[in-house]
Amino acid sequence: MIRSVLISPIRRYFRTKRLFRAAKEMARAKGKSLMVIGDPCSGNYFQFMSSMFPNCEHGEVTVDLNGCEDCTRMDINDMVAWERFEDGSFVVMETGVLGFSKDVEAVLGQIGRVSGGDFLSAGGNRGLLWVKYLYKTYSKDLVYSMDPFDSRKDEYYSGIKLGQKGSFRLKFYAQSD
């Protein structure tokens, strides 16, 4: 229980902060825009925590289905909506949204395309109770808990399907074609 509601979220919080700093610096060094997937002002299990202690900042573009007024409100599963973003123009920092993917490979393909390969993600909560039961109390649309990913060293994007046994592993490509 403590791992699910305290240790795993705290680890994820500091991992998000660290990877966000790296993504911001990478964007600056490469002269690219920063895309954050996941509204920094919301989305935590305890809403007030997100407002008081945000784990990252908005990017030049921030994508979230229910985001604040500074966000681009977009469903990551809408492949047509992704077309507004140019190939290779962003460093992408993802924070707890890809678990809502309907087709992870398709969403990852769009991230590969718009990022040109520069993609960081802090992954999801891995507390045992969370991945077995508690995720249902957060959202009925949450399907996966992803592993952290850092394109500077990782080749494969992976995660688990919540409430089920087994895991998936996908090669991350810089372009979808």
Stretch that binds ligand SAM, among 17-25, 35-43, 81-89, 161-169 (CB under 6 A): 35-43
Q: Name the residue whose CB lies closest to ligand SAM.
A: 43
- Side chain identity at 85, as an amino acid letter? F
Query: For ligand SAM, which residue of 4, 8, 55, 62 counts as binding (CB under 6 A)?
Result: 55
Which residue of 27, 38, 135, 160 would you call a contact of ligand SAM, by CB under 6 A? 38
72 binds ligand SAM, rule: CB under 6 A: no
At residue 168, what are phi and psi to the nearest 5 degrees? -125, 160
Q: Hey, CA dihedral for 80, 85, 87, 93, is it positive or negative?
A: negative
Q: CB–CB of 148/122 below 8 Å?
A: yes
Tell me: does residue 11 bind ligand SAM (CB under 6 A): no
Establish if 100 lies at the interface with ligand SAM (CB under 6 A).
yes
Strands 33-37, 90-94: pairing is: parallel
